[in-house]
Structures are given as structure tokens and as C-alpha cells.
Amino acid sequence: MAEEKDYHGKQNYVMLLGVIAVLVIAMVGIASTMTGSSKVLAISALAAIQFYVVLNNLMHLKYEPALITLVAYLSVVFIVILIFGVAPDTLLVNLDPSGQNGLVFIEP
């Protein structure tokens, strides 16, 4: 009965969810006190930590077989490739505000 196999170790879920709650409150605090790129970086970093904790600890990815770990992380890698693959086309092309000339290409 492979389906009944328990892959899990013991985790302190109260502590894990407490950590995530503290990170949520910290993000809100940062949003109301900081400005500019430092605010974006700080909030993004805290969001990334939460993402990692949820994926690995709540979803038990760290206890899963290597094949499942590969499937999960591959999906994240696809998104990163998508962002960096599309970014040059998006950021180097502007819509013409006058609406007469269509796309205006910005020289790199």
C-alpha cells in the first residue's frame, strides 16, 4: 500500500505558522514605514521566505521523493525563465502614447 506510506517527520506547526504570521505583520510594517526600492526588496525577501516555508514545511516538499521535488521546483524555474525571457522584449518596447505609430522601439 504505497499510498498509506507516511513520508513525514515531526514538525512544530504552531511555530511554523507563528513564523509566517510574524513575517506577514513585518511586511505590513515595512510597507507603512519604508519607501522606494529598499521597501520592495525587503517585502520581496520576506515573501520569498514565506513561499519557501509553505512549500517545504506545510506542503511537506522536503519529505517528498526526489521526483516530486523536481516537478515542483521545475515549475518555479519555468516562471523565472518566462520573466527573464520576456523582459527584454517588454522593457525595450514602448506603446506610442499618440496611438498613431503603433509600437515604438527603444534602442538598447
Partner 1 sequence: MSDVTIERVPKGRLGVWLLIAGEIVIFGGFIASYILARLEYPEFGSKEAAGDLNIVVGTVNTLILLISNWTMVKAHEAALEKNVAKAKSFMIYTLVLGLLFLGIKLGYEWPTDFSHGHTISSSKAIADQAPGSEVMKVSLFWSYYFLMTGFHGLHIVVGSLVIFFVMLGISGGQNLHRVELAGAYWHLVELVWVILFPMLYLIQ
Q: CA 96, CA 103: separation in Å to the nearest integer?
A: 6
Comparing CB distances to partner 1, the nearer of 98 and 105 is 98
Choose which of 15, 27, 102, 103 interacts with partner 1 (CB under 8 A).
27
C-alpha triplet 26, 30, 35: angle, nearest 5°: 170
H helices of the chain, where?
Answer: 13-33, 36-53, 66-91
Amino acid at site 48: A
**Site membership for partner 1, residue 15 (CB under 8 A):** no
Comparing CB distances to partner 1, the nearer of 5 and 107 is 5
Interacting residues with partner 1 between 35 and 54 (CB under 8 A):
39-40, 43-44, 46-47, 50-51, 54
Whether residue 72 contacts residue 61, with contact meaning beta carbons closer than 8 Å, is answered with yes
Q: CA 93, CA 104: separation in Å to the nearest integer?
A: 6
Site residues (vs partner 1, CB under 8 A):
2-6, 8, 13-14, 17, 20-21, 24-25, 27-28, 30-32, 39-40, 43-44, 46-47, 50-51, 54-55, 58-60, 62-69, 71-72, 74-76, 78-79, 82-83, 86-87, 90-91, 94-99
